Amino acid sequence: MGKQSLYDFKVEDLYGKTFDFASLRGKKVMIVNTASKCGLTPQYEQLETIYKQYKDKGFVIVGFPANNFAEQEPGTNEEIGAFCQKNYGVTFPMMGKISVKGEDMADIYKFLTHKELNGVQDSEVEWNFQKYLFDENGLLIQVIPPKTLVTDAKVVAMIKPTSKNGKE
């Protein structure tokens, strides 16, 4: 297995439609594994806030529901979509439920967690709401721990677009 690119992946969204990461070329991308029944579930609110703030400035969040931690995402794709909309007004793209660790780990998470595939670093998905941030060229720039909020000043600084002179 050689080095891959974020843009090599196609996945299914919550509604069974193909989502092609190649469509995100030129944008900063944050991938986050989510769960509806976790102590960190309220992070949906901050994720949606940051998404709305920066979506028109070249930033997108892609959520992947996963039931890998204490069975905190037991629902179907339909139930997950309804939960996200009703409780948090989520408008960022949500993918179909996958596995983010173990023998049945989804290919995109193999890419996220293995240096020989992503070219940057090895990592392990510690818990729900771990975040992977990619630059506009599809290169992994940061793995953000589950408890670190997307609204944290250091995270926002990485998300904000920069012009050629280094200003927003």
Q: What is the torsional sign of CA 59, 64, 68, 72?
A: positive
CA 8 centroid distance within chain = 16
Q: How far is it, in rounded angstroms, from Cα 57 to Cα 60?
A: 9
Q: Is 84 a catalytic residue?
A: no
Helix/strand/coil (H/E/C) assignment for every residue in the chain: CCCCCHHHCEEEECCCCEEEHHHHCCCEEEEEEECCCCCCCCHHHHHHHHHHHHHHHCEEEEEEEECCCCCCCCCCHHHHHHHHHHHHCCCCCEECCECCCCCCCCHHHHHHHCHHHHCCCCCCCCCCCCEEEECCCCCEEEEECCCCCCCCHHHHHHHCCCCCCCCC
Options 38, 40, 82, 156, the catalytic residue: 38
Q: Which residues are catalytic?
A: 38
